[in-house]
């Protein structure tokens, strides 16, 4: 965990259900235009069904997309699926200001998820060879980031209460036969919003923010 600084402010924006491509391009523009004093932001949202292909994605891992859109994007990693009932946590962060390297940042995100799940009495762990969070060998959260000029965008996807069937149409994150799970499978019936509210304090702790704000309205719409 990084050491909090006096000006470590995080702006948290609840975005609702958003199409993938516009949000992706907003993240790119935000990162390109941000200045040294621009506050970091956390965007919390859901996407309609979509497969995304990271920069290293191999076509053979996309088995049978059917009618679900497929979008090649600029994060690291392979192919994954996003859909309603999955919490997207987009981290627009200045790593230098946080005093963190990318590996430390990824570990902090994973640990925030692990601590969240511990609050539901679910034992989870990360994997050095395959970033993300796993429960009983099944992936419950995926991570994928892009770093430009020392600042991150993209983030993590936490499966809460969704249709997992589309994961069978891909090799998740490039691993054939990888099992995928979600909070609902472990008896968690809280809404996505309630889970999100529980998650934020863990993120603040592990990323080293000492203050946060929820701006009124949405400056990015």
The catalytically annotated residue of 18, 151, 173, 212 is 173
Q: Does 83 carry a binding-site annotation?
A: no
Q: Does 149 carry a binding-site annotation?
A: no
Q: Give the N- to C-terminal CA distance of the chain in Å, as an integer.
A: 32
Q: Does 77 carry a binding-site annotation?
A: yes
Query: What is the distance between the alpha carbons of residues 204 and 128, in angstroms, rounded to a whole number?
Result: 23
Q: Does 187 carry a binding-site annotation?
A: no
Q: Does 113 carry a binding-site annotation?
A: no
Q: Is 212 a catalytic residue?
A: no
Q: Does 174 carry a binding-site annotation?
A: no
Q: Does 53 carry a binding-site annotation?
A: no
Residue 3: DSSP 8-state: P
For 59, the token pair is 């076509």
Q: Beta-strand (E) ranges in 33-190?
A: 40-46, 50-53, 70-72, 79-82, 86-94, 125-126, 132-135, 138-148, 151-159
Annotated binding-site residues read: 75-82, 142-144, 155-157
Active-site residues, by number, are 173
Residues flagged as binding site for substrate:
75-82, 142-144, 155-157
């Amino acid at each position: 965990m990084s050491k909090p600084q006096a000006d470590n402010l995080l702006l948290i924006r609840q975005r609702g259900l958003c199409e993938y491509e516009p949000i992706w391009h907003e993240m790119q523009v935000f990162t390109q235009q941000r200045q040294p004093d621009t506050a970091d932001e956390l965007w919390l949202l859901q996407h309609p069904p979509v497969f995304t292909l990271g920069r290293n994605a191999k076509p053979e891992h996309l088995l049978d997309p059917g009618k679900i859109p497929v979008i090649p994007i600029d994060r690291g990693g392979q192919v994954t699926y996003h859909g309603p009932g999955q919490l997207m946590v987009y981290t627009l962060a200045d790593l230098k200001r946080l005093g963190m390297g990318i590996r430390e940042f990824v570990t902090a995100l994973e640990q925030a998820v692990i601590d969240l799940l511990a609050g539901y009495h679910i034992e989870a762990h990360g994997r050095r060879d395959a970033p993300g969070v796993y429960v009983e060998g099944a992936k419950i959260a995926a991570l994928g980031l892009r770093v430009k000029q020392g600042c991150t965008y993209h983030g993590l996807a936490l499966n809460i209460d969704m249709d997992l069937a589309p994961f069978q149409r891909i090799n998740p994150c490039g691993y054939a036969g990888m099992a995928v799970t979600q909070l609902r499978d472990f008896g968690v019936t809280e809404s996505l919003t309630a889970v999100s509210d529980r998650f934020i304090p863990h993120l603040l702790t592990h990323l080293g923010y000492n203050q946060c704000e929820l701006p009124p309205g949405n400056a990015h719409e």
